[in-house]
């Protein structure tokens, strides 16, 4: 590490404060310790997230893990929403004990909180502010499934209609 990058008279706490005072700017900030660029990302609850979570729940994803790469439709795979939904605690992914070098396995399931949200029994923060794959803060306003979809939504009725169609 060069002295110009991190002068010895600075403490790590001062460098961290400098970085975290600036990482939420739209352009982000560069860490004075490691020269790594970082920024705070805003992840908003979207229609696509809800539709993908509902797909997972309808496909036994609340009783067991579902392997998305082999079972999910293309729309679910390309959105990468299951990883985002876990920040709200609405989905979780199976730990990867077999290949520790990989972050995850592609196996996901909906949590009881996710089902409660889909059923309209709970509200959720409309957005998460994420840095380094961790929620740093939440947007204060809360939404329901119907708020996000901008239409009334009845998850139980949708499940019954889907099962009747076969």
Q: What is the count of structural domains for the chain?
A: 1
Q: Classify residue 94: in a domain, yes or no.
A: yes
Q: Within its chain, how far is the Cα of 17 from the centroid?
A: 26
Residue with tokens 């991190």: 6
Residue 31 lies in a domain: no
Say if 27 falls within a structural domain: no
10 Å Cβ neighbour count for 45? 25
The percent of residues in the chain predicted with pLDDT above 90, rounded, is 39
The pLDDT value recorded for residue 1 is 44
* Tens digits of residue pLDDT in 61-103: 677 899 999 999 998 888 888 889 999 999 998 877 666 666 6
Residue 96 lies in a domain: yes
φ, ψ dihedrals at 103, nearest 5°: -70, -40
User: Which residues span the domain enclosing 61?
Assistant: 46-124+144-165
- Mean pLDDT for 127-144 is 91
């Amino acid at each position: 590490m060069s002295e110009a990058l991190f002068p010895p008279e600075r403490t790590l706490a001062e460098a961290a404060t400098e970085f975290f005072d600036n990482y939420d700017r739209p352009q982000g900030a560069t860490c004075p310790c490691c020269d790594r660029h970082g920024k705070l990302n805003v992840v908003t609850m979207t229609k696509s997230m809800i539709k993908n979570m509902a797909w997972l729940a309808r496909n036994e994803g609340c009783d067991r893990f579902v392997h998305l790469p082999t079972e999910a439709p293309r729309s679910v795979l390309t959105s990468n929403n299951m990883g985002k939904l876990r920040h709200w605690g609405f989905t979780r992914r199976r730990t990867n004990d077999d290949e520790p070098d990989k972050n995850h396995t592609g196996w996901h399931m909906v949590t009881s909180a996710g089902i409660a949200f889909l059923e309209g029994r709970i509200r959720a923060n409309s957005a998460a502010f994420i840095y380094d794959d961790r929620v740093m803060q939440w947007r204060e306003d809360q939404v329901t499934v119907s708020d996000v979809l901008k239409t009334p939504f009845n998850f139980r009725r949708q499940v019954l209609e889907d099962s009747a169609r076969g």
